[in-house]
A and B are shown apart, each in its own frame.
Chain A
Amino acid sequence: MALTILLSCVAILLATSALAVAGARKSATTFCVYSVALAVSVAALSIACWMLLTNPGSAATMQLPIGLPWLGAHFRLDVLAALFLVVINLGSLTASLYGLGYGRHEPTPGRVLPFFPAFLAGMNLVVLADDAFTFLLTWEFMSLTSWALVMAHHRDRDNAKAGHIYLVMASFGTLSLLLAFGLLAGPDGGYGFDAIRSATSSPGVSATVLALALIGAGSKAGLVPLHVWLPLAHPAAPSHVSALMSGVMTKVAVYAFVRIVFDLLGHPLWWWGAVVVTLGGISAVLGVLYALMEHDLKRLLAYHTVENIGIIFIGLGLALAFQGNDMPLAAALALTAALFHVFNHSVFKSLLFFGAGAVLTATGERDMEHLGGLIHRMPLTAIAFLAGSTAISALPPFNGFVSEWLTFQAILLSPKLPQWPLKFLVPAIGAMLALSAALAAGCFVKAFGATFLGRPRTSASQRAQETDAFSLTAMFILVLLCLIAGILPGYFIDALAPVTQQLLGAQLPAQEQLRWLTIVPIAESRSSYNGLLLFVLIATAGWLGAYVIHRWASHAVRRSAAWDCGFPDASPLTQYSAGSFAQPIRRVFGTLAFHAREQVYMPAPGDTQPARFHVSMRDLVWDSLYAPVERIVGFAADHFNKVQSWTIRAYLSLVFSSVVVLLAVLALWN
C-alpha cells in the first residue's frame, strides 16, 4: 500500500514534468509545477516517516511489467529506503516551497520547470529500486535530469564547462556501478537484489565490487579525488536545485554505497573500513580547505558538501571496520552517526543554499568580495543563514554537533579493534575530523562575516531587499529542524535504530526513556550529551545576565563612528575581505595543500607605481590526476582525427580487417 502511494507520487511527478514541457511558456506554470511538487513531497514524506517510525518489520515489494521483459521492474520499500526517502522528500518539500518564490525570478523557466519534478522522481525511484537494472536506469535518469538543470543557464561559459565535466564524471560513475552490479550478479545474471543478497562472492570479487562502488557512488557523492565536478556543477544550477543536488542527491549516492556494501555485499572485511575511513578523512580536510580558499558563496557551500560527505564516509568506514571484527554495537554507533549526519547535512546544506540563493536574487552577486552588510538589508535571511552556519560548523546546541559527536564516540572505540593498522589510523582520522570541524567554523565565520556583516562593499549589496515569504518559510522550517535535531537528538537516534538493526543486526540502546532526554550511546560513565539541557541552561544564563545588567546597571546606548584604534577609514574596501580572512589559514595549510605562493611587488621609494600582491595556488588533485588524463585523451583525439578524412576504400579495409581479427580471436578463444 505504502509503496503504491509512493510510486503514484513518482508518476504524478513525471506527468507534471511532461505537462510542464507543454506549458513552459505560460506564466502560471511555475506556480503549478512547484505546488504539485510540494504536495507530492508532503505525501511521500509522510509515508516515509510513517514507515520509518512504525517499522512494520517487513518490507513492501512490488513488480511492474516495465523494463527488461524477463526481469520487469522490482521496487521495494524497507526501512533503509524509508530513511533516505525522508531525506529526499524533506529536501524536495522545502525546495519546492522555496521555488514558489525563487522560481519567479528565473529568466528561463522553460529550462528548469520540466526537469525539476523529473529530477525529484528520479531520486525517489533510485531509492525504491530493487533490481540492478531498475537501479541503474533510474540512477542515470537522476543524473541526466540534474545535468539538464545544471545546464539551465548554459550560455554562461563556466556553466557549459561545468555541465561537460559533470556529464563525463556521471557516465564514468554509472559505468563503475554497472560493472559492480555485473560482478555482484555473477555469470548467471541474477539482477534482482534478493538474488544478489543470497549469493556469496569470493573475497577478490567483493574487494573489486567495493572499489567500484566507491568510485561509482563516491563520484556522485563527491569523495576526493572524484569531487572535481561537484563544486562546478552544484553552484551552476538555480539555487533550489543546488540545494537539492548538494543536500539530497549526494545522499542518494551515500544510499547507493550503503545499499551495495552493507546490504548486498555480505559480511565486510576489516580493511574495507580502513580504505573508506581514509578516503573520508582526506575528503573532510581537503573539502574544507578548498572551501576556505573560495570566495564564491555557492561554490564555497559546494566544497563543504565534499567535507561533510567525508565525515559521513568516516562513519561508514568505521562501521565497516567494526562489523568486520564482529563488534556489532560499535558498528551500530558508527553507522548511526553516519546516517544522522546524512539527515543533518541535508537539512543545513539546503538551508545554506537557500540563503545563498536569496542573496543572489537580492544582489545578483555570488562573490563574497562584492557583498557585505546584508544583515541590515535582509535580517531574516541573515538569521537563517547564521543558524545554518552554526549547524554546519558542528557547534552545540545545533544538529551538526550531535552527529559529529557520535562520530567521535565511535572513533574513541577504535582501540578495541584488533588490527594494528586500524589502531594507528583511526586516531589520526579523529584528529583530521577535529581539524575539519575547526576549519569549517573558520570558513563559516568568513562566509557569514563577509556576506552579512561589516559594511556593504558594492552598491548592489547596499540596495538589497529582503527575500519573499515562500523562501523565508522554507528556510525557517529548516532552521527549526536544525534546532530540534540538535536539542532532541534522542528521538532521531531511536528512529535510526531499525535501519542499523536491518543492516548490522544491532542497534543503539533506546534513548527516548533516558532522564531529561540525555543521549548515551554506550554507557553513562563513558559519555553522554544533552543538547536540550545545554540549550536551556545557556538561554537562561544569557537572558538572566542581560536582564540583570539592563535592569540594575545600565541600558544606555550611544551610536557613534567606529573607533578602529583611532584610525577609522571611510572606504568599505579597507575592511577585512574574505580573502584576507583566509590568509593566515592559507599560509599555515595552503603552502602544503595547494602550493600557495605569495608574491609582493614593492616599488622602490619614489616610484609612483602601485604595490602589487599576487597569490598563486594549484589544485594538486586536478593537476596530478585529471590533467594527465585530459592530455592523453587530447593526444589520442588529435591522432584519431586523421581517420576522419580517410577514403571509403580505407574504411572498408579497416572494417574487413577488424572482422578478421575478431573472428581469429574468437577461434583462438574456443
Chain B
Amino acid sequence: MELIVDALVQLVQLLLVLSIAPLLTGYVRKLKAHLQRRRGPPVLQPYRDLLKLIRKEAVLADNASWVFRTAPYAIFATTLIAAALVPTFATGLVFSPAADLIAIVALLGSARFALALAGLDVGTSFGGIGSSREMMIASLAEPAMLMIVFTVSLLAGSTQLSSVAAYVQGPELGLRVSLGMSLVALIIVAIAENARIPVDNPATHLELTMIHEAMILEYSGRHLAVIEAAASLKLLLYFSLIACMFAPWGLATAGQGFADFAIGVGSYIVKLAVGGFLLAVFETGTAKMRVFRVSDFLGAALMLGLLATLLLFVSQRG
C-alpha cells in the first residue's frame, strides 16, 4: 500500500514536470518579449505549437536512417526521466535512489549523444556544425559540473539530491562562500547546456551562431515536437536542480501529508516564476558571444567550481 502511494507521488512529479515544462518556456518568452517592449506570443503558445506539430506529417530526408527517427523519442524519454528524478516539490521519492546527481548529469549526456548523432545522420553541413559545437561545449561544461558536484558533496557528504536538500535546509549550513561560487558556476553551466544567450540563441536561425537549432534543422512534425518538449524539460530540470540545491525551502519529504505536498508544489511554482524572470532579464541584457569565446565563459565556471572546492578545504582547517 505504502509503495503504491509512493509510486503515485512519483508519478505526480513526472506528470507535473511534463505538463509545466512548456509553460515555463512560454513564460520566459513572454517576459522577454515584454522586456523588449513587444507583446509576444501568449504564454500557452508552446502547447499549441506542440499540438500542431504532432498532428502534422513528418518529412524525412531521403537518406535519414532509423537513428534519425528514434533519436527524438530517446532524447525525450531520457530527459523526462532525468527531470522526474530531480526533486521538485518533495524529496526522498520512491525512485530517487535510482540516480544521484552524477547519474542525472550523465542521463542528460546520453540525451545529448543521441541528439548529436541525429544531427549528423542526414549528412548536411548544418547538422555537423551543430553537433560538433554541442560536443565542444559539453566537454567544457561537464568538468565544471563535476566540480560543482564535488563542492556540494563535500559540504553535504552526499551526491544524492534529497540529502543535499536536507543539508541545505538544516541548521549547520551557515553562510558559505563556496556554495555561492558553485551557484554561479551552475548557472553558467545551465545557460550553456540549455542553449540560452550568450552561448546560443534559441530564437535564431542565423547560420554562423546557431548550435542547438542547427542540429534539429532537418526535423519536422512529431519528431520536432518531441525534441522541443525535451528542450523545455531540460530547461525545467536545471531550474529544479538549482532550486533543490540552493533554495530547497518549502520542499516536502516523502511520507508527509497532503498539505505539505501542496505547500511544496506552491513554493516550486514560485521558485520557477522567480527563476524564469531572472533568466529573461539576464538574456535581455546580454549579447550573444562568439562561439570560441564560450570556452572562456565555461572556463570561468570550471575555475569557480575548483576555487569553491579549494576554499572549502582551507576554511575547514581554520
Contact = CB atoms under 8 A, between A and B. Distances in A.
Interface stretch (B34-42, B57-65, B176-184, B254-262): B57-65
A449 interface: yes
Interface residues of B, number: 85
Given A396-B103, A527-B160, A545-B226, A449 B136 contact: no
B98 A529 contact: yes
Contacts of B142: 434-435, 437-438
Contacts of B218: 562-564
Interface string B98-128: 1110110011011011001100111111111
B85 to A, nearest CB: 9
B48 interface: no
B120 A431 contact: no
Which applies to chain B's interface (DSSP): helix, strand, loop or mixed?
helix
Interface string B209-233: 0000000011001100110000000
A314 interface: no
B127 A415 contact: no
Contact of B158 (A526, A537, A576): A526
Task: Find the residue from B73, B97, B127, B295 having the highest chain A CB count within 10 A.
Answer: B97
Interface in A518-571: 518, 520, 524-530, 533-534, 537-543, 545-546, 549, 553-554, 556-565, 568-569
Contacts of A545: 73, 76-77, 80, 226
A395 B113 contact: yes
Contacts of A412: 149-150, 153-154, 159
Contacts of A537: 81, 95, 98
B67 interface: yes
A556 B57 contact: yes
Interface string A412-450: 100100001001100110111111011101101110111
B102 A563 contact: no
B221 A574 contact: no
A367 to B, nearest CB: 17
A457 to B, nearest CB: 9
Interface string B298-318: 000010011001100100000
A560 B147 contact: no
A388 to B, nearest CB: 13
Contacts of B13: none
Given A431-B143, A445-B116, A534-B103, A549 B60 contact: no
Given A405-B106, A455-B63, A533 B98 contact: yes
A529 B62 CA distance: 41
Interface centre among B106, B128, B139 (most CB of A within 10 A): B139
Contact of A562 (B81, B107, B123, B221): B123
Interface-central residue, A408, A444, A562, A568, by most chain B CB under 10 Å: A562
A9 interface: no
A401 interface: yes
Given A449-B120, A562-B61, A575-B128, A524 B110 contact: no
Given A560-B60, A560-B61, A549 B110 contact: no
B23 interface: no
B78 interface: yes
B17 to A, nearest CB: 12
Interface stretch (A74-82, A125-133, A348-356, A577-585): A577-585
Given A373-B63, A549-B54, A559-B60, A525 B74 contact: no
Given A454-B123, A575-B128, A527 B63 contact: no
Contact of B132 (A432, A524, A581): A581
Nearest to B226: A545
B143 A441 contact: no
B125 A564 contact: yes
A430 B150 contact: yes
Contacts of B62: 559-562
A390 interface: yes
A390 B110 contact: yes
A375 B139 contact: no
Given A439-B139, A526-B163, A580-B132, A534 B109 contact: no
A453 interface: yes
A525 B124 contact: no
B145 interface: yes
Contacts of B116: 442, 445, 449
A376 interface: yes
A189 interface: no
B182 to A, nearest CB: 13
A238 B157 CA distance: 49
Interface in B148-206: 149-150, 153-154, 157-160, 163, 205
Nearest to A408: B102
16 contacts: A386-B117, A395-B113, A411-B150, A446-B132, A449-B120, A530-B99, A545-B73, A545-B226, A553-B54, A557-B60, A562-B62, A563-B217, A564-B125, A564-B217, A583-B132, A584-B292
Given A437-B109, A559-B62, 19 more contacts: A386-B67, A396-B99, A427-B310, A434-B145, A438-B140, A445-B135, A449-B131, A454-B123, A524-B97, A524-B160, A529-B103, A530-B99, A541-B81, A553-B222, A562-B123, A576-B125, A580-B128, A581-B132, A584-B292
Instruction: Identify the 4 closest CB pairs spanning chains A and B, nearest first.
Output: A576-B128, A454-B123, A542-B77, A442-B135
Interface of A: 372-373, 375-376, 379, 386, 390, 393-396, 401, 405, 408-409, 411-412, 415, 420, 423-424, 427-428, 430-435, 437-439, 441-442, 444-446, 448-450, 453-455, 518, 520, 524-530, 533-534, 537-543, 545-546, 549, 553-554, 556-565, 568-569, 572, 574-576, 580-585, 587-589
Interface of B: 54-63, 65-67, 73-74, 76-78, 80-81, 95, 97-100, 102-103, 106-107, 109-110, 112-113, 116-117, 120-129, 131-133, 135-136, 138-143, 145-147, 149-150, 153-154, 157-160, 163, 205, 207, 217-218, 221-222, 225-226, 291-292, 295, 302, 305-306, 309-310, 313
